[in-house]
Structure formats: C-alpha cells, structure tokens
Amino acid sequence: MIRISTIFIAICMVLVAASLGLVLYAVAGISGTESAIVALTALTFLILYNAVSMRLRDRSDVGGQIADLSRGTADLARQVAEFGRRLAAMEGRIASSNSTNSDRIQSVVGEINELGGLVRQLASTVSTHEDLLAGAAPAAAAAPAARPDLEAPIDLIAPLGERPVAPPLLPAAPPPPPARPAPAVQAQTAHPVQTANGRNQTQLLATLRNAIDENRIDIFLQPMVTLPQRKVRFYEAVTRVRDERDQLIAAEEFISIAEASGLIGRIDNMVMLRCVQVLRRLMVRNKDVGVFCNVAASTLGNSTTFAQCLDFLEANRALAPSLVLEFKQSTFRNLGPAESENLAALAQRGFRFSIDHVTDLRIEPRELADRGVRFIKVPATLLLDPRQASTSDIHPSDLSDLLGRFGIDLIAERIEGERAVVDLLDYDVRFGQGFLFAPPRPLRPEGASATGGASPNQAQDIQGSNGSAPLSQGATSAAPPAQRITGNAALARRI
C-alpha cells in the first residue's frame, strides 16, 4: 500500500512542474507546447531525484539492519564456541575419569585373581589334610565313637533352620575301604543293626506283615543342607522296619518284597502319616523347613491305594508347600495314563515333586517342570564323573543353571567327602545331602528333653550350642577330642 507521504510528494512534484510550465507560458511568452515539454522535463527530474534519494535512504536502513544481524551472529558464534569449549573440557574429564577407573579396576581384578589362586591352594591343602586325618583315624577308636553319633536322635523341638549342620567328627568316620561300596552297602555298614542277617524272603515277608500290623514302621530323618553355608533346609524321611527283636531293617532290603506282595501301599500310607506329623512338629519353630516323602510307583498306579493317599493329602493340603513327594527317575520315565492322571491330581492340589535314584543326566527340564517337579537329586559321583560330559546332552557343570531356568533345584546326594563338596561348589550346586553332613537318624520322642537320651559328652555338646542342635555330635569320654570339619575350604573355593 502506497504511503500518504509518497502521494503528497508526487502531488507536489506535479504542481511544481505545472507551475513552472505555466510561468514560462505566461511570463516568458513561450508557446504552450514548449512550456508543456519543459514542465514534463522538470517533473521527470523531480521523479528521478525522489527515487534516488529514497533508494539511498533505504540502503542506509538496510545497511544498519545488516550490521545489527552481523553483531547478533557474532555473539551467537561466540556463545557456541564457549559451549564447545566447555563440552570438550567435560569430555576430557570423563575420559580421564574412565581411564583412572579402568586402571583401578584392572589392579583390583589382578589382586582378586591372585587372592583366588591363593585361596584355591589353601582349599586344596586343607582338603588334603582332612583326607589324611580321616585316613589316619584308627578303626578301633572310630567304632565306639561312631555308634552314639549315628544313633543320636533328632530333636524336633529346637529351631532347625537357624544354624549350619556340623559335619561328622573325624574320629567317628569309619576307615575308607579299598573299594568304594554301593550306597546300600554303605548304609548297612553305617547301621549294623539294620541288616537282615539270616532271613530269607519268606521270613522277611512275615516280619514285614507283623511290623505293619503292629505299627513298627519308623521314620529316620536325613537333613539336606544349603551349600556352602550348610544350613538345614529340608529333611528326607527314610523308612525303617523294626522286627520282633527291635532290630532295624533298611528300606533297600524290604522294598522289593513289599512291592511284590502288595504291602507297599500300606507302608506308603503309614509313611505319609508320619511325615505329616513330623512336618507339623518341625513347622512349630521353622516355617521354611520341608520334608521329602518317598512314594512308590505301584502306589501311584494303584487306584484304591492312591485314592486313600489323595484323601489324606487333600485333608492336609495346607502343608503342600512344605511336603515334597519323591519318586524314582524310572517312575517318571514309565508313566502310564493312570499314573499321569494321579500325578496331575497331586500337582493341582499344590504338592511338589522330587526325583531321586537318577542313573543318567538325560533330563528334560521343561517336561518335568510342567509335571510339577521342583527338585532333582543326583548322586555326587554321577555329577563329578568325567564320562558324563560325553554321554549326556549337557555338561554336568551347566545342569544346575539349566534346571534353574525352569524352577527346578539340583540336590547333590550321597556326599561323603570334603573334596566332593569343593568340586560341587564349582558346579553351582546349592543343596547337598549325605553322610558327610549327617546320616539318617531317628526322631527324639516329643516329650523328651534336649539331653535326656544323650551321653554326658553329648549333653555338654548340645548345651554348648544353646540347645538348638538337632543332630548331636559327641564322642565318648575315652575318645580324644577330634577336630571338626568346618567346610572353610569349600567356602573359600566358592569365593
């Protein structure tokens, strides 16, 4: 839009040019044509002058604006340069700090590696010394000292999960034989009263029937401990049968006969009843403790017997998180339709399962987890056998991590030496069971005192532990004081 000042100037220029032509025409006597030409010429000069003057004024204004913009750009460039300098300084400080931290970490890692090597050497030396001490213990002095320790009853009144289980005393350990016997033979050697010497199958069957009718089925408990802390976490209920002379018969001797004669269902019912009673006594002081109860494959497949067991477990469904039902590996591999259905019924009621008697490491953890298996017990000798790395689908050292991804805990059983514990810690095994920690022991009567059935030395040992040790560790007064295996070598190796 044209400004008013421009219009006024244009009108003034026209008036000036017209006045000039009129003056020339009237005063000077010039003709009208010539005076009009002069007027137009004057108007043209005025227009050119106005245009040039306006262009110069606009140029000065634009020059001032460009100068202001240049100054603003210079200020912005100066600020950007300052920010760049500060950023460079900050990056230099961060790089210097990272370099310093990296050097410190490298030095600490080097020291830790050196310390780890020293600790491994210490663990190996301690383990060697323990083996030498165990081998040097005389058999004559070990026999009278081992019997009270193996038969020491478990006190369920004392808190069980608040302290580590003390391993067996060295003088109480039997001398190592030339060849390692089978687990069943070891159990019989540790418990000489549990053998069935002089009995044939007929006599043993009659003894078994009488024991069931007269309620002479006893429960022994063997603890399962955490590694490397060795704190009691679970107990396995081990079945023992007492004959007419109150001699104990191990489960390995009568299980096959009981299954063949159809008595295993009655035994499993009695064992479940005892396990529930024991678990209720244990949970008075420790809510985190659990009991493993063995169930035979024939019981799982017998509809009548299983219905009785299921009714009893349904009535005690509140104990399902702490009562673990244990089956053999062969049972899970040979499940039929009836067994699978019964197993699913137990899983629906919240009961968890465990697998023992593992003979190989061909395990499908996903399938087992879907069936409700939460524990797998593998013999320590099988885990540490170098041949398993080539015959199984997974290396034994990776088995614990693989099972853990599916919510299954690996338990190493039949642990008999400190060296095995050290090696198992490298495999990330978190639970252990075996004669190294404690053998199966009978229950202390519910009304008995903490030192009522122990020898004076055992009572003094219990009192020294503030009355909280469920597994008595003592020796006779004639036996010299023995060194206790504390497992520091295993703990140091794990670090």
416: closest CA among 431, 435, 395, 394? 435
CB 470 within 8 A of CB 232: yes
DSSP letters spanning 130-171: HHHHHHHS-HHHHHHHHHHHHTPPB-SSS--SSSBPPPPPGG
Which pLDDT value is given to residue 260? 87
Distance CA(206)–CA(8), nearest Å, equals 139
pLDDT attached to residue 294 = 94
Kindly list the distances between the CA atom of residue 414 and the CA atoms of 127, 377, 431, in Å, as whole numbers in the listed order.
Answer: 18, 10, 12
Per-residue tokens: 226: 């955490």
Q: What are phi and psi of 356, to 5 degrees?
A: -130, -170
- What tokens were used for 409? 């805990």
Full-model pTM:
0.56
Token code pair at residue 442 = 């009978």
- Whose CA is closest to 356, among 416, 436, 426, 412? 412
- Residue 108's Cβ-count burial label (10 Å; 0-12, 13-18, 19+) is exposed
Strands (E), 194-244: 217-226, 232-242
Give the Cα separation of 297 and 342 in Å (integer): 11
Crossing angle of the two packed helices 303-315 and 264-282, in degrees rounded to 10:
10
For position 469, what pLDDT does the model report? 36
Neighbours of 433 (CB within 10 A): 24
Contact 403, 384 (CB under 8 A): no
d(CA 294, CA 239): 9
3-class SS of residue 8: helix
Q: Are 238 and 191 in contact (CB under 8 A)?
A: no
Selection from 284, 289, 282 nearest residue 232 by Cα: 289
DSSP string, 271-320: HHHHHHHHHHHHTTT-TT-EEEEE--HHHHH-HHHHHHHHHHHHHTGGGT
Phi (first) and psi of residue 474, to 5 degrees = -145, 170
Is the dihedral angle over the CA atoms 10, 14, 19, 24 positive or is it negative? positive
Please, what is the end-to-end C-alpha distance for the chain in angstroms?
89
Q: Which residue's structure tokens are 């002379």? A: 245
Per-residue buried b or exposed e for 450-460, using 16+ beta carbons within 10 Å of the residue's own CB:
bbebbbebbbe
DSSP state of 115: H
Q: Which residues contact 424 (CB under 8 A, 6 or more apart)?
A: 227, 380, 383, 384, 412, 415, 432
The C-alpha atoms of residue 171 and residue 161 are separated, in whole angstroms, by: 27
Question: What pLDDT is stored for residue 55 in this prediction?
Answer: 85
Q: At what angle do helices 418-426 and 32-136 cross, to 10 degrees?
A: 170
Handedness of CA 196, 201, 205, 206 (dihedral sign): negative
For residues 421 and 489, what is the distance between their CA atoms, to the nearest angstrom?
Answer: 9
Sequence letter at residue 89: A
Number of C-alpha atoms within 13 angstroms, CB side, residue 101? 6
CB within 8 A of 167, min separation 6: which ones?
Answer: 230, 418, 436, 437, 438, 484, 485, 486, 487
Structure tokens given for 276: 């529930």
Longest dimension (CA), the chain: 171
How far is residue 400's CA from residue 361's CA, in Å, rounded to a whole number? 12
Q: Any idea what the Cα angle at residue 16 is, between residues 10 and 18, rounded to 5°? A: 100
CA neighbours within 13 Å on the CB side: how many for 481? 2
Looking at residue 320, its pLDDT comes to: 93
Q: Per-residue pLDDT for the chain (495 aa), expressed as one digit of tens each?
A: 457 878 888 888 888 888 888 888 888 778 888 888 888 998 899 899 888 888 888 888 888 888 888 888 998 999 999 999 999 999 888 988 888 888 889 889 888 988 888 888 888 888 788 778 877 765 444 444 444 444 556 666 555 544 445 444 433 344 444 444 443 333 333 443 344 445 688 888 988 889 898 888 999 999 999 998 999 999 999 999 988 888 888 888 888 888 888 889 899 999 999 999 999 999 998 888 999 999 999 999 889 999 999 999 999 999 999 999 999 999 999 999 999 999 999 999 999 999 999 998 889 999 999 999 999 999 999 999 888 777 777 888 899 999 999 999 999 999 998 999 999 999 999 999 999 999 999 876 654 433 333 333 333 333 333 333 333 333 333 333 344 444 444 444 444
Q: Sort strands 232-242 and 290-294 into parallel, antiparallel or unpaired.
A: parallel
